Amino acid sequence: SGMREQAMEIVDSMFDASEEPPPAICVFDPDFHEGVVGIVAGRIKDKLHRPTFVFAASQAAGKEHELKGSGRSIPGFHLRDALDLVAKRHPGVLLRFGGHAMAAGCTIDEEHLDTFENALSQVAQEWLDAATLLRRLHTDGPLAPEYRRADLADTLQQVVWGQGFAAPVFSEEVEVVSQRLVGEKHLQLKLKHQGQPVDGIWFGRTEPLPARVTLAFRLETDEWQGVKRVRFLVEGAGD
Q: Would you state the pLDDT for residue 1? A: 60
Q: How far apart are CA 175 and CA 93, in angstroms?
A: 44
Q: Over the chain, what is the mean pLDDT?
A: 83
Q: Is residue 167 part of a domain?
A: yes
Global pTM value: 0.57
As a whole number of Å, the CA-based R_g of the chain is 19
Q: Is the same domain home to 194 and 225? A: yes
Q: Is the same domain home to 108 and 160? A: no
16-20, 120-124, 168-172: least confident range: 16-20
User: Residue 218 maps to which CATH number?
Assistant: 2.40.50.460
Q: Which of 133, 166, 194 is the last residue of a domain?
A: 133
Q: Is residue 114 part of a domain?
A: yes
Answer whether 40's CB lies under 8 Å from 53's CB.
no
Q: Is the same domain home to 118 and 167? A: no
Q: What sign does the dihedral 203-206-211-215 (CA atoms) show?
A: negative
Number of domains in the chain: 2
What is the secondary structure of 159-183 as a DSSP string?
Answer: S--BTTBPPP-EEEEEEEEEEEEET
Model confidence at 95: pLDDT above 90 = yes
Collapsing DSSP to helix, strand or coil, 215 comes out as strand
User: In 3D, which of 172, 205, 177 has the Cα closest to residue 189?
Assistant: 177
CA dist 148 → 15, 111, 153, 214, 230 (Å): 42, 49, 7, 17, 7
CA 22-41-3 angle, to 5 degrees, is 120
Q: Is the same domain home to 158 and 230? A: yes
Q: Is the same domain home to 38 and 117? A: yes
Q: Is the same domain home to 169 and 91? A: no
- The greatest distance separating any two alpha carbons of the chain, rounded to the nearest whole angstrom, comes to 56
pLDDT digits (tens, 9 = 90+) for 109-144: 999 999 999 999 999 998 887 656 655 445 566 676
Domain of residue 51 covers: 2-133
Q: Is residue 189 part of a domain?
A: yes
